[in-house]
Structures are given as C-alpha cells and as structure tokens.
Amino acid sequence: MDIDNILEQAQLAATQSQKKKARSLLREYMKVDLRNELAWLLFASVAESEIDETACLMRVLRINPNNAAAKNRLERIQSAYNAGAPDSSPQPTPPVVQEPTESPAPQDTSPTPPTAPERSAIPILLILIIGTCLVGIVISNLLDGSSSGSSSNSQTYRTYGRFTVPGTAYMDGRDIDANPTLTLMTMNVWDNKMQQPVCRLKHGTAVKLLGATTLDNRNYFHISSGSCEGWVIEKSLSTTKTEPVGDRIP
C-alpha cells in the first residue's frame, strides 16, 4: 500500500471511530515517516490514554513548536485536570446560628457510600516536564503497540537485543575489552535522562526489567532491585549471572 494511502486510510478510520484500526495504520505509516506533524496529531486523536495523547502532542511541538492545534489541545487537557484538582484556597467560616432546642432527630446508621477520588492535576503535569527521554519511551511503546494507560490483563513482551521485557537480568560490570580485563564490582543506576546516578547495584545482582527504549541505536533498560530503580545501558546487563574477571574495581 502506498504510504500516502496508508495515512488517508488512517484518517478515514479515525473519522469512523475505528481507533484501533487507525492506530495500526499509523504505526505502519510511521515506519517510513516520523516527521509528519499531521500524522502525530491524528495519532493523538486516537490515543488510548491521555499520557499517550500528551506524548504525541509534545512530539508535534518538537517538529513544529508553533502548531496551534497541539498547543490548544495540551492547554485543554491541563485545564481539565486543574478543574478537578482540590481547591486549596482558604474557605470562609460560616457564622454560627443558635437554633431553638429540639428533640434530636433519629440518626441514620446506614453506611456512607464511598466518595469518588478527586481528580489530580499531577499526571499531566508530570508528562509535561519529564523531558525528551521519557517522552521517547512513551512514543516507543506507542509505536510498538502498547499503551501507557492500558489496563489490559494480557502481558505484552518485547525483545531488545538479548533481553525480553518484562523479564529478568543480572548486573554485569565486566569489561573484557579492557587491557587488562576488569570488573566494576558496583555500578551506577541512572535517572531517566541518564545524567544523574540514583543508586548503585553490585555486579551479579538480579534485576527486574520493567521497560526499555532505543535511542541512537543503543538499548536502555528500566530496572529495579529492592529499593533501587532507574535506567542502565544494555552493556551493564547480562542474561545470566557471571563471575568477575580480571581486576576488581570497587
């Protein structure tokens, strides 16, 4: 199918409320063209969650910072959340009025129904400030066909290099290309921008693979072990637990 025809079919599916079909066609289209702002706007309109929609709109603004449609939609999303956020402004205290003394009315002992939780402004604020890296992760998941807001019970597994996500791996501090060979016995786990270490794990520690993304032809993995959670590059992981080699660097 011609690439332009794929986009036209996606637009038609969207207008007919066939959102799943539209998303599938858009993923095919974006295998060829990731710089079409109209395609990203269309993807935002059929997204499964507001996080996915927001990530698509932010992608539009990266391509064209002056895109009014994307700006307006982001403002509406934020306004909707702000409208549902708890009002923290002080409320006036009502005057106390002394009512005539009466016999107390019988008390209703029936259980009080639970109230719906108030909508918080935090989720969209977070996605607006998380930066390029996490937006890239959301977009990567989106193009793989998994939604950031999906609540399906079925588990989606994806392969990144030697690893399957979600899955298990082991921290690997070996550098067999060094001369002499060496092993880092403790390694940094980084924040989502790979700029600041958030914790450290020992060589051979088993970790859970929570997510992954590919940037500049390198695979990065979202891992956790106990209270330590963050990101590492693929070469810091192994599919099996390995023994240290060469010099051991604390």
For 49-97, what is each residue's pLDDT tens digit?
777 888 888 888 888 989 999 889 888 877 776 665 444 444 444 444 4
Question: pLDDT tens-digit profile of 152-197?
Answer: 444 566 777 789 888 999 999 998 888 888 999 999 998 877 778 8
The token pair at 161 is 């290099």
Q: Which pLDDT value is given to residue 118?
A: 41
Q: Using the Cα atoms of residue 44, residue 49, residue 55 and residue 58 in order, give the sign of their dihedral.
A: positive
Choose between 117 and 1: higher pLDDT. Answer: 1
Give φ, ψ of 168 to 5 degrees: -130, 145
Helix axes 68-84, 122-129, angle to 10 degrees: 140
Task: Check whether 145 has a pLDDT greater than 70.
Answer: no
What integer pLDDT is reported at residue 178 of this predicted model? 80
* pLDDT confidence of residue 195: 78
The more confidently predicted of residues 13 and 149 is: 13
Distance CA(173)–CA(171), nearest Å, equals: 7
Mean pLDDT, the chain, whole residue set? 75
* Tokens coding 72: 């307006």
Q: What is the DSSP letter of 48?
A: S
pLDDT band with cut points at 50, 70 and 90 for residue 137: low
CATH 2.30.30 domain position(s) in the chain: 158-249
Which segment of 192-196, 210-214, 237-241 scores lowest on mean pLDDT?
A: 192-196
Q: Give me the residue label for tokens 């499964």.
A: 48
pLDDT, position 50: 77
pLDDT at 110: 44
- Across 21-47, average pLDDT: 87
Task: Determine the Cα–Cα distance for residues 74 and 124; give it in Å rounded to an integer.
Answer: 9
> What pTM does this model have?
0.43
Q: Could you say which of 2.60.120, 1.10.8, 2.30.30, 1.10.287 is the CATH number of the domain covering 158-249? A: 2.30.30
Number of neighbours of residue 98 by Cβ within 10 angstroms:
5
Reported CATH class of domain 3-87+119-144: mainly alpha
Question: Which of 43, 53, 41, 59 shows the shortest CA–CA distance to 77?
Answer: 53
| CATH 1.25.40.10 domain range(s) in the chain | 3-87+119-144
- Rounded Cα distance between 43 and 22, Å, is 8
Q: CA of 213: how far to CAs of 36, 53, 158, 242, in Å?
A: 21, 19, 10, 24
pLDDT of residue 177: 80
